[in-house]
């Protein structure tokens, strides 16, 4: 149940600050869960005209590169059993998706938990887990590595992507930082990004409060990180999860869909024997660079265009027949725009 009084209070604050700042402001929400909430409650529509909210690369499925999907399809083609989370199966690679690969070659499994992967390993000892997502899902993949499951990791870490997005071309004035990722990495992890930031929870009130606080920071020229979700996010984050990540992964450069290769933005498997990219390097070396599809997910993920500005949106690309990753996941910007019919042109 929304607290209407609080909502009105934050809106009033936002209106006053927007007037005082007196110029156009761009705020980016990083988390797909926040994007969903913002679209569901029409938050973009009720903000003053000079405050623009754009969506960032916070959907784990959407930022996984087409090349990595092609690599997984190649492994499936060679008869190597694959397991991954549901949405990833539907993301198109250069020619087709892992779902199509399942129909053609079999042994591609959709899982909802790491326990299911361990169960599959009893029957398929050489199963490869396609590990996707941010710091939130990576500890579960670390648990699989601890149990000797081979992993193809496309796990990403959030702060380096924010650093890339904070560059001058994009002109983001402030960030609404993700709630779930922050429970793992803690408030301090964002200090490396020199921009006003507020970590937010998952209610319309909290999003509006984050916007109000961000405008206050911008007004006072303060590039600091405020924890607006203190009941779940601590200063240091979850030490146990961080220890697991440190033990089984190392930080490496990583390919992001739409953002290209970002330095020190991915988690790579420490143990070569459990790293599918090393173990199957002879198979993977011939996977070509991805074919261009006309999808503009990259620009959507950077907040450079709205989904409706992609020529394929709703015409060729729909949730039933997605051309790009942003139309697949519940947290994808194009799928969210399609769901709520808010194009924000
Ligand atoms: S509408 Fe489809 S093709 Fe266009 S950017 Fe979004 S996912 Fe890509």
Give the rounded distance of the alpha carbon of 111 from its chain centre: 19
Q: What is the 3-state secondary structure (H, E, C) of 297-334?
A: HHHHHCCCCCHHHCCCECCCECCCCCCCHHHCCCCCHH
Could you tell me what percentage of the chain is helix, strand and coil, using 3-state DSSP and rounding each to the nearest 5? Answer: 45, 20, 35
Rg of the chain taking only CA atoms, in angstroms: 20
- Between CA 24 and CA 50 the distance in angstroms is 5
- Between CA 103 and CA 107 the distance in angstroms is 9
Looking at ligand 1, which residue's alpha carbon is closest to its atom 6? 334
Q: How many residues does the chain have?
A: 345
Which class for 20: exposed (0-12), middle (13-18), buried (19 or more C-beta within 10 A)?
Answer: exposed
Beta strands in the chain (DSSP E): 25-29, 51-55, 82-85, 108-111, 128-131, 150-153, 174-177, 197-199, 225-227, 249-256, 260-269
CB 57 within 8 A of CB 301: yes
Atom of ligand 1 lying closest to residue 317 CA? 2
**How far is the centre of ligand 1, averaged over its atoms, from the C-alpha of 168 (Å)?**
25
Atom of ligand 1 lying closest to residue 299 CA? 5
User: What's the number of CA atoms in the CB half-sphere (13 Å) around residue 56?
Assistant: 25
Contacts of 286 (CB under 8 A, 6+ apart): none
Q: Is residue 110 within a helix (H) or strand (E), and if so which, with residue range?
A: strand 108-111
Ligand 1: residue of 35, 61, 298, 300 to mutate (most ligand atoms within 8 A of CB) is 300
What percentage of the chain reaches a pLDDT higher than 90? 59
The predicted pLDDT at position 344 comes to 45
> Most confidently modeled of 8-17, 165-174, 290-299?
8-17
Question: pLDDT tens digits, residue range 188-226?
Answer: 999 999 899 999 999 999 999 999 999 999 999 999 999
* Residue 307 Cβ < 6 Å to ligand 1: yes
CB 270 within 8 A of CB 277: no
CB 295 within 8 A of CB 69: no
Question: pLDDT tens digits, residue range 227-275?
Answer: 999 999 999 999 999 999 999 999 999 988 777 788 889 999 999 999 9
- Between CA 235 and CA 225 the distance in angstroms is 11
The domains of the chain are located at: 1-339
The predicted pLDDT at position 169 comes to 65
Atom of ligand 1 lying closest to residue 297 CA? 5
Residue showing tokens 């997005």? 165
Architecture in CATH for domain 1-339: 3-Layer(aba) Sandwich (3.40)
Question: pLDDT tens digits, residue range 105-132?
Answer: 889 999 999 999 999 999 999 999 999 9
**How far is the centre of ligand 1, averaged over its atoms, from the C-alpha of 214 (Å)?**
30
Looking at ligand 1, which residue's alpha carbon is closest to its atom 1? 313
* Residue 313 Cβ < 6 Å to ligand 1: yes
């Amino acid at each position: 149940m929304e607290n209407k009084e609080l909502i009105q209070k934050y809106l009033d604050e936002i209106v006053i600050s927007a007037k005082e700042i007196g110029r156009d402001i761009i705020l980016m929400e990083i988390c797909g869960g926040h994007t969903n909430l913002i679209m569901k409650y029409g938050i973009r529509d009720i903000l003053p005209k000079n405050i623009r909210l754009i969506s960032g690369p916070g959907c784990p499925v959407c930022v996984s590169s087409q090349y990595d999907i092609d690599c997984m399809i190649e492994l499936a083609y060679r008869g190597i059993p694959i397991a991954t989370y549901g949405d990833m199966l539907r993301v198109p690679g250069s020619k087709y998706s892992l779902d199509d690969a399942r129909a053609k070659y079999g042994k591609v499994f959709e899982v909802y938990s790491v326990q299911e992967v361990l169960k599959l390993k009893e029957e398929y000892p050489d199963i490869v887990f396609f590990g996707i997502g941010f710091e939130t899902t990576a500890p579960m993949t670390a648990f699989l590595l601890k149990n000797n499951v081979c992993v193809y990791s496309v796990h990403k870490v959030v702060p380096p992507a924010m650093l890339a997005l904070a560059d001058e071309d994009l002109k983001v004035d402030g960030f609404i930082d993700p709630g779930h990722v922050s429970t793992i990495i803690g408030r301090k992890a964002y200090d490396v990004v020199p921009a006003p930031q507020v970590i937010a929870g998952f209610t319309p009130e909290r999003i509006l409060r984050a916007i109000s606080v961000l405008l206050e920071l911008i007004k006072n020229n303060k590039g600091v990180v405020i924890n607006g979700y203190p009941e779940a996010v601590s200063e240091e984050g979850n030490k146990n999860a961080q220890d697991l990540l440190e033990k089984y992964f190392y930080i490496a450069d990583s390919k992001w869909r739409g953002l290209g290769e970002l330095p020190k933005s991915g988690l790579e498997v420490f143990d070569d024997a459990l790293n599918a990219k090393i173990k199957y390097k002879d198979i993977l070396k011939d996977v070509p660079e991805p074919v261009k599809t006309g999808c503009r997910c990259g620009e959507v993920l950077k907040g450079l265009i709205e989904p409706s500005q992609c020529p394929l949106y709703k015409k060729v690309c729909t949730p039933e027949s997605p051309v790009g990753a942003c139309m697949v996941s519940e947290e994808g910007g194009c799928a969210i725009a399609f769901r709520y019919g808010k194009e924000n042109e």
